[in-house]
């Protein structure tokens, strides 16, 4: 039985379709035996009608108020940013912020994505809305994922096994390996109808063959889901996946992975 000590793709009520506070998630992580929790709320146009209004992002601006060690759990600050075009750009890259949340004028104007990413230890890049991929080739989809993965703040692609965007698996996996970044196996993917389970299995098998690290996460949208990855773990056990390639098997392994990737190098601040 694999031991997984970190859950690094989770959501709080800020994500609008999630239902728990950060404190509820931390307490749930401790109860589930997690030594590290990554809170990664959505950074996307799906949350707000006026998604260019900077006041909507105050929650993400202020995560520095969270303690690094809470209830004995190391707490990391992140977000899940939408991939918004075929160039692999992430949400907020083209949104100019003219005024602060209290109405002071920025001179020069600020970039919304930079304002959020600068406060994140790492970013998850995910496809939710697939409008921009319709009619595109597998080669273009593949390059989109690679471009997103090459963003210096991105540590992994979210739920790539259920996004519904076809791509060349080996090209993405090998680029991830070069960048010292993992591939996510997402527990939620096993709850959807269709070929998602098979695709996740294929991804895991190929990662094992190529020596690519993976990160198993719940994608929890309520505290009771934190740390509960039974379906994903059962799949990995069924294919004898190498435990040393599971980057979130321990707090130390995950923090080392972040440092090795260059995404978050100041891991000393988390103890």
Q: How far is CA 155 from CA 49, 86, 241, 257, 260, in A?
A: 28, 19, 21, 9, 11
Band (pLDDT 50/70/90 cuts) for residue 93 is very high
Over residues 226-248, the pLDDT tens digits come to: 999 999 999 999 999 999 999 99
Over residues 170-215, the pLDDT tens digits come to: 999 999 999 999 999 999 999 877 788 999 999 999 999 999 999 9
This prediction has a pTM of: 0.97
Band (pLDDT 50/70/90 cuts) for residue 269 is confident
CATH class, 6-261 region: alpha beta
Looking at residue 226, its pLDDT comes to 98
In this structure, are strands 154-157 and 122-126 parallel, antiparallel, or unpaired? parallel
In the predicted model, is pLDDT for residue 85 greater than 80? yes
DSSP code string of 224-262:
GGTT--HHHHHHHHHTT--GGGBTTSSHHHHHHHHHHHT
Residue spans per domain, the chain? 6-261
Q: What's the mean pLDDT in 107-117?
A: 98
Alpha-carbon Rg for the chain in angstroms: 18
Looking at residue 196, its pLDDT comes to 85
Could you give the maximum distance between any two Cα atoms of the chain, in Å? 57
């Amino acid at each position: 039985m694999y031991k997984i000590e970190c859950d690094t793709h989770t959501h709080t009520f800020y994500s609008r379709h999630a239902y728990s506070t950060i404190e509820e998630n931390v307490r749930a992580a401790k109860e589930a035996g997690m030594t590290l929790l990554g809170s990664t709320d959505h950074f996307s146009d799906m949350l707000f009608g006026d998604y260019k209004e900077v006041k909507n992002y105050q929650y993400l601006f202020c995560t520095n108020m969270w303690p690094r060690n809470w209830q004995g759990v190391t707490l990391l600050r992140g977000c899940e940013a939408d991939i918004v075009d075929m160039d692999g750009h992430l949400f907020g890259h083209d949104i100019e912020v003219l005024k602060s949340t209290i109405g002071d004028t920025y001179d020069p104007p600020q970039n919304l994505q930079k304002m959020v990413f600068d406060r994140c230890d790492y970013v998850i890049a995910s496809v939710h809305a697939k409008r921009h991929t319709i009619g595109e080739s597998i080669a273009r989809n593949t390059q989109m994922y690679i471009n997103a993965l090459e963003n210096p703040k991105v540590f992994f692609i979210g739920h790539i096994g259920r996004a519904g965007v076809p791509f060349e698996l080996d090209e993405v996996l090998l680029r991830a390996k070069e960048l010292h970044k993992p591939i996510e196996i997402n527990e939620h993917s096993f709850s959807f109808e269709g070929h998602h389970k098979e695709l996740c299995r294929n991804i895991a098998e190929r990662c094992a063959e190529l020596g690519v690290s993976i990160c198993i996460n719940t994608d929890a949208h309520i505290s009771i889901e934190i740390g509960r990855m039974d379906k994903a773990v059962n799949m990995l056990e069924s294919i004898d996946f190498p435990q040393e390639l599971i980057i979130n098997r321990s707090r130390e392994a995950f923090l080392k992975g972040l440092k090795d990737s260059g995404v978050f190098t100041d891991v000393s601040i988390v103890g």
